[in-house]
Amino acid sequence: MNRVPSDETMIERLKLAGLRPTRQRIALAALLFGECDKHVTAEALHEEALRNAIPVSLATVYNTLHQFTEAGLLRAVAIEGSRTYFDTNTSNHNHFYLEADGTLLDMHAAPAVSVPEPPPGMAISRVDVLVRLVRK
């Protein structure tokens, strides 16, 4: 009885990332990388896990999200406010942010940004573009 995607796929992925494929990590990876790109908060992923009968503690969800991020499987997205979003799409892209309901959307077409010279002695490490949306 195989889920799609199979646990084997996830185990492979974890091993490649240098992470021990534990019960919880496999299950969370299956939720995260199962289908299309997702944006989750720790809280949201925790709830999703519980709904799917994966008993895991919130602390482990936090740990796992950070480990996945360090391993390059996830990308942390900076939005104002306290809560952190994690994006399964780790490629260099930007986001629409729906202020009304706190939803993140991937921006597929790359925005063209030309940035001024950084101050002397400094180098650009990354450019984040966040487009805030409101309902029309």
Residues in the chain: 136
Radius of gyration of the chain (CA): 17
Residue 92 — φ and ψ, nearest 5°?
Answer: -75, 100
CB nearer to DNA: pick between 56 and 98 = 56
With CB under 7 A as the contact rule, the residue among 5, 37, 60, 106 that binds DNA is 60
Handedness of CA 9, 66, 52, 103 (dihedral sign): negative
Q: Does 82 bind a second copy (CB under 8 A)?
A: yes
Q: Does 34 bind DNA (CB under 7 A)?
A: no
Q: Does 31 bind DNA (CB under 7 A)?
A: no
CB nearer to DNA: pick between 66 and 75 = 66
Residue 85, SS3 per DSSP: strand
- The one-letter amino acid code at 68 reads F
Question: Which of DNA, a second copy, none lies near 57, with the C-beta cut-off 5 to 8 A by kind?
Answer: DNA
**94 and 130 Cβ atoms separated by less than 8 Å:** yes
> What residues make contact with a second copy under the rule CB under 8 A?
76-82, 84, 96, 98-99, 105, 107-119, 121-136
> What residues make contact with DNA under the rule CB under 7 A?
19-25, 41-43, 55-60, 62-64, 66-67, 82-84
